[in-house]
Copies of this chain bind each other. A is one copy, B any other.
Amino acid sequence: MHKKVNTEDFFREIRKGNISFLSRAITLIESTKKSDQLQALQLIQYCLPFAGNSIRIGITGPPGVGKSTFIEAFGNYLISLGKKVAVLAIDPSSSVNKGSILGDKTRMEKLATNTNAFIRPSPAGNTLGGVAQMTKESITLCEAAGFDVILVETVGVGQSETLVYSLTDFFLLLHLAGSGDELQGIKRGIVEMADGIVINKAEDNNIQAARFAKKELENALHFYPPKENQWKPEVHLCSAILNQGIREIWEMISEFLTLTRKNGYFEAKRAEQNKEWLKKSITNLLLQDFFASIKVKSSIKKMEQSIAHQQISPLDAAIQLIELYRNKKEE
């Protein structure tokens, strides 16, 4: 184990772009220890004035679409343009099996060893403000460390896309060419969120199908209501493994940035996201506080039993427990 680093040292090293300290600082954010959490808050406070200058790109897609290979190709391309790239992966556990899905750094071999890259999976767990909160704060630290592009990756299961959407400026959906109705395979909500769709593995004898899928998706997008930010989502072909079509994706994102910075939507979206995050943080911390309350702790078991015996509804029980929580004296 490392010995304890004080907040000023953390801050100074992060500002220098020291990846080892950045990594340890994120561990601090993710810690469940009270003293670590207090230090993390202070460190975030220090970093905040130096944050906000990156482009945050959300990347999602179903398992098997080649996310890691894409990020390897895309990340290395960005670095070749002189950028520093951080990859944060959100790993929500599915609601039945709580298995970890990520950890495939091996597929990002070149990127993982590049000094201008930083790759970090977010573990699931019950930390200060919840799993996702950490990612928000991790972005702040990465930005203070000088990273220009933050890729926030998620596997396409459940609510994680909405979460990544609320963390990023541009939302990229990776897709594989299927056959027949392209939109059937994609959840409608996700298509609505996407600023760009990339059909990966457009290579070898898959090219025909990929081109067809592109047409079909473009037709479908045509019928979607126009976005508030006036951006028209684009569909692109790409072969991450052959390093083809990568430049065009970055060009699309650059055009998006030019447009939304000009029409003010870029800043407006970030402001909106900050409000959302405030609410998320409140929810998480309020529940932590509630369930830690001694009065609640001493009554909740009895309430659960009454519910089990159909003597009280969960809603009614909740109302009574909150009454207890609200009226508590200093404990």
Contact = CB atoms under 8 A, between A and B. Distances in A.
Identical chains bound together, number: 2
Given A278-B303, A278-B304, A185 B187 contact: no
A242 interface: no
Complex A-B, nearest 6 residue pairs according to Cβ-Cβ distance, in ascending order: A281-B318, A277-B314, A96-B192, A94-B189, A278-B314, A282-B318
Contacts of A322: 282, 285-286, 289
A284 B322 CA distance: 11
A231 to B, nearest CB: 13
27 contacts: A41-B319, A44-B315, A45-B316, A62-B184, A94-B188, A94-B189, A95-B162, A95-B193, A96-B189, A96-B192, A97-B192, A140-B313, A157-B189, A178-B178, A178-B179, A178-B180, A179-B179, A184-B185, A185-B185, A275-B304, A278-B304, A278-B317, A282-B287, A282-B318, A285-B318, A285-B319, A286-B286
Given A95-B189, A188-B157, A304-B275, A41 B316 contact: yes
Interface of A: 41, 44-45, 48-49, 51-52, 62-64, 94-97, 128-129, 133, 136-137, 140, 156-159, 162, 165, 176, 178-180, 184-185, 187-189, 192-193, 225, 271, 274-275, 277-278, 280-287, 289-290, 300, 303-304, 307-308, 310-319, 321-322, 325-326
Nearest to A162: B95
Given A44-B315, A318-B281, A308 B189 contact: no
Nearest to A186: B185
A218 B217 CA distance: 30
Contacts of A310: 48-49, 51-52
A284 to B, nearest CB: 8
Contacts of A278: 300, 303-304, 307, 314, 317-318
Given A158-B159, A307-B274, A315 B137 contact: yes
B316 A44 contact: yes
Nearest to A49: B310
- Secondary structure dominating the interface of A: helix
Nearest to A282: B318
B188 A63 contact: yes
Contacts of A315: 41, 44, 128-129, 133, 136-137, 277, 281
A96 B171 CA distance: 13
A149 B64 CA distance: 39
Contacts of A52: 310
A318 to B, nearest CB: 3
Given A157-B187, A282-B318, A314-B278, A179 B180 contact: yes
